[in-house]
């Protein structure tokens, strides 16, 4: 019997333990992936804690997966995939194909969306079974440890920016310079935006400059963030990567007329926005989910073209618990990645 290892928790907020399982065979329309790297996202805490409906234990999280196709299920070869193909799988882990959003081509908001670590075992493992429609091809020259985080953190920021109302030369601000924001600034600069980094503390100014930002706003300086943005002309778009509703709310009055607040940082506290802030200037507030497998592929291709990479720290699978706790404590700089070496 052939086996593989997973890092799992057996109860909500439990400690990670290694377990061996029998190697599964992919079903129709599925592939088995040999995992080479898996990023650790803050959203993994929703699964580890059992906070989402339908999470079952033992739980194997991980939705920033990169590796290579090890075995094909029936019907996959006809879709153009072969054994050995380098692939990534992100938050988009497959859609149903028959609901109204899917029939309209809007697969990302499929109500039956399958997320690795939620609908099926995620990438804190040596192998993963995933549906073929979740696969994104990794371009030549992009390491698995870089591709994994791009399947969630990367695509979320990349898509949030490219689908915003901003155009080249417009002032665009990225709120937060963490796991999402440090990629968001790089993408904003490469897309031709006049880029503003917003974070807490003067010490982040050097990081913002290193990432390519044209301006930096220290949210603790005493000058309101909105006022600082308006002094630069007002932001056509703010990409809010920080998971803090107060910090997100503080940017709204910094938007230019018809400016757009794109929220990708998760918080359960309501935003403190009143209708008057939106009405007179025609401002827009919208949430933005991650992206389909094609979006992930686009993100990785753009990243390879422009030399954009996540800043990562690596850990082996047997240290998944320590790496996860480092992420939870906010001490990762900037993405913890489990690797096979």
- Give yes or no for residue 244 having a pLDDT over 80: yes
Tokens (6 digits) for 34: 């040999």
Query: What is d(CA 122, CA 152) in angstroms, rounded to the nearest whole number?
Result: 13
Looking at residue 340, what is its pLDDT? 84
> CA 73: distance to chain centroid?
27
SS3 27: coil
The answer to whether the predicted template modeling score (pTM) of the entire model surpasses 0.75 is: yes
DSSP state of 31: E
pLDDT in tens, 62-77: 999 999 999 999 999 9
Local confidence band at 285 (pLDDT 50, 70, 90 cut-offs): very high
- Give yes or no for residue 1 having a pLDDT over 80: no
Torsion of CA 207, 327, 200, 216, to 10 degrees: 30
Query: How confident is the model over 262-285, as a mean pLDDT?
Result: 96
Query: What is d(CA 241, CA 198) in angstroms, rounded to the nearest whole number?
Result: 10
- Give yes or no for residue 341 having a pLDDT over 90: no
CB 62 within 8 A of CB 123: yes
- Give the helix ranges, DSSP H, for 72-193: 100-103, 144-149, 155-162, 181-190
The partner residues of 174 in beta bridges, in order of sequence, read 197, 239
Local confidence band at 333 (pLDDT 50, 70, 90 cut-offs): confident
Query: How confident is the model over 180-206, as a mean pLDDT?
Result: 97
- Give yes or no for residue 22 having a pLDDT over 80: yes
């Amino acid at each position: 019997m052939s086996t593989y290892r997973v890092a799992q928790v057996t109860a909500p907020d439990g400690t990670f333990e290694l377990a061996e399982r029998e190697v599964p065979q992919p079903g129709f329309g599925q592939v088995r992936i040999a995992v080479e790297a898996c990023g650790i996202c803050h959203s993994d805490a929703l699964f580890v804690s059992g906070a989402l409906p339908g999470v079952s234990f033992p739980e194997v999280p991980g939705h920033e997966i990169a590796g290579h196709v090890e075995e094909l299920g029936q019907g996959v070869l006809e879709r153009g995939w072969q054994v050995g193909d380098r692939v990534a799988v992100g938050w988009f882990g497959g859609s149903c194909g028959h609901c109204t959003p899917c029939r309209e081509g809007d697969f990302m908001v499929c109500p039956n969306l399958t997320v690795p670590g939620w609908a099926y075992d995620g990438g804190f493992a040596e192998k993963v079974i995933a549906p073929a429609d979740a696969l994104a091809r990794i371009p030549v020259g992009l390491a698995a440890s870089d591709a994994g985080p791009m399947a969630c953190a990367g695509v979320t920021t990349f898509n949030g920016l490219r689908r915003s109302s901003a155009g080249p030369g417009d002032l665009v601000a990225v709120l937060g310079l963490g796991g999402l924001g440090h990629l968001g600034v790089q993408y904003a600069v490469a897309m031709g935006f006049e880029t503003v980094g917003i974070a807490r503390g003067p010490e982040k100014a050097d990081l913002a400059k290193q990432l390519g930002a044209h301006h930096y706003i220290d949210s603790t300086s005493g000058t309101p963030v909105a006022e600082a943005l308006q002094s630069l002309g007002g932001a056509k778009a703010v990409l809010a990567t920080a998971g803090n509703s107060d910090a997100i709310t503080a940017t709204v009055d910094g938007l230019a007329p018809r400016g757009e607040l794109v929220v990708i940082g998760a918080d359960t506290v309501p935003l403190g926005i009143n209708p008057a802030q939106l009405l007179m200037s025609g401002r827009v507030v919208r949430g933005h989910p991650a992206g389909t497998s094609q979006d992930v592929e686009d993100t990785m291709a753009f990243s390879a073209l422009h030399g954009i990479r996540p800043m990562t720290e690596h850990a082996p699978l047997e240290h998944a618990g320590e790496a996860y706790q480092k992420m939870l404590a906010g001490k990762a700089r900037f993405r913890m990645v489990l690797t096979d070496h």
